[in-house]
Structure 1
Amino acid sequence: MRRIRSFIAVELSGSVIAKAQKLAAAIAGDEAEINWVDTTAMHLTLKFLGDVPETEMNDICRVVEATAKTVEPFELMFRGIGAFPDLTNPKSLWMGLRGGQEELAELYTAIDVAMKEKLGFPRERRAFQPHVTIGRIKHLHDPAGLAEKFAAMSSFDGDLCAVDEVTVFASFLGRSGPTYDPIGSYELG
């Protein structure tokens, strides 16, 4: 049986993606070797589903569509930069949020609960940390220099993004990185 690696996400506005590119350009330099996320792959993940049997995709889409209707559209304000696991030992660089977190948490919880109750997907155990990954560090050469750049970008304005739909994606891993194909997009409200 064919399996599809999949996740549920919010797609980003063109202005947020353009700002993410500016943030990446401001951080790029000799301090670290960074694999930057392709702008066509930038998104905000709500729930990673993993490798799902293809036969379950229609049910997943129906649940996401029904759940999306229960949450009203809202706006997100992207601001600042962060890193996982933290700024002193960065592995993954991201742009954070400074507005719309409560509404996003409502959408996240609605989807997480619905996927558990309707289809048996396990609830996420970790706290929801909304972010947009912009790059992954391969090698860190100058931690202090990179930390200075992070400090300078701490209040970076990533722009506004209207959230009026959620998308179910299929993810395909390749040599040049992952590619994401939308399976279905579903309007909020």
Structure 2
Amino acid sequence: MENLRLFLGIALPENVERFLGGRADWMKPKLSFRKWAHPADYHITLHYLGNIPQDRVPDIEQAIQDTADIAAPPHLSLAAPGMFGPESSPRVLWCGIQELSSAAPVAGSPAASPLHALHGTLGEHLQARIGYRPESRTYHPHITLARDCAGGHCAKRTVKELWDTASGTDGQQPGPWRCRDITLFRSHLGRSPSYERMASIPLRNME
């Protein structure tokens, strides 16, 4: 039985992909990250599953459906960039996500936010269906733009300055959008774009 590299996430609207692709093109010559994501691969990860036997895909899709039947659809917008890893050699450059409610930031703890609730509920259904164990660390939604700094031109201050400088040169930042689906992605190593969308299941509570 073939194993598939799978993860669950939120696909982005095309205008958000285009904007981030343009912003990445502006920053790419000025930063020393080794690998930049293809715009078609931009997404917000919900859960990374890893290598999964192909015959478990129907169970995964059912876990998604169980979640989609009850989850509230998050309202999202782009936020400031950031990085994971040490200042001298960050591992990941990302664009942040802000969650909105009636065009205003959600107040309170992350547990109160629909996006964090969607992540938690999906993890519970995956555990019930396939025995998946969600990560214990705090969920930090983001969109990966680049990986593996190869030199000294990846400082957080440099990234912020470039991001701010690019504002107004690459089109207006997209406004908020509503998450409408949970997507099952398959990762293909050694190709670009790398991610295949195997299934997208709509959230039902769209009122």
Per the shorter chain, which TM-score range?
0.7 to 0.9
CA distance in 2 between counterparts of 1:99 and 1:65 reads 23
The answer as to 2:158 corresponding to 1:148 is: yes
CA distance in 2 between counterparts of 1:124 and 1:109 reads 10
The answer as to 2:198 corresponding to 1:187 is: no
Gaps (5+ residues) in structure 2?
101-109, 168-172
What residue is the counterpart of 1:68 in the other structure? 68
Gaps (5+ residues) in structure 1?
none
| Maintained 8 Å contact 1:16/1:160 | no
What residue is the counterpart of 2:104 in the other structure? none
**3-state SS of the aligned residue for 2:148?**
strand
**3-state SS of the aligned residue for 1:29?**
helix
Q: Check 1:140–1:92 CA distance in 2 against 1; reply closer, same or farther (3 A cut).
A: same
Q: Check 1:60–1:179 CA distance in 2 against 1; reply closer, same or farther (3 A cut).
A: same
What residue is the counterpart of 1:135 in the other structure? 146
CA distance in 1 between counterparts of 2:19 and 2:193 reads 21
What residue is the counterpart of 1:5 in the other structure? 5
CA distance in 2 between counterparts of 1:28 and 1:179 reads 19
Q: What whole-Å deviation, never above 9, does each CA across 1:102-147 have from its counterpart, x for those lacking one?
A: 1110110010111112321112111101000011134124355x63
Q: Percent same amino acid at aligned positions?
A: 24
What's the TM-score once normalised by structure 1's chain length? 0.87
Return the structure number with greater strand share.
Answer: 1
Q: Check 1:72–1:149 CA distance in 2 against 1; reply closer, same or farther (3 A cut).
A: closer
| Maintained 8 Å contact 2:7/2:184 | yes
CA distance in 2 between counterparts of 1:85 and 1:163 reads 28
CA distance in 2 between counterparts of 1:4 and 1:58 reads 13
**3-state SS of the aligned residue for 1:52?**
strand
The answer as to 2:117 corresponding to 1:103 is: no
What's the TM-score once normalised by structure 2's chain length? 0.80
| Maintained 8 Å contact 2:33/2:154 | no
**3-state SS of the aligned residue for 2:29?**
coil
Q: How many residues are treated as equivalent by the alignment?
A: 187
What residue is the counterpart of 2:126 in the other structure? 115
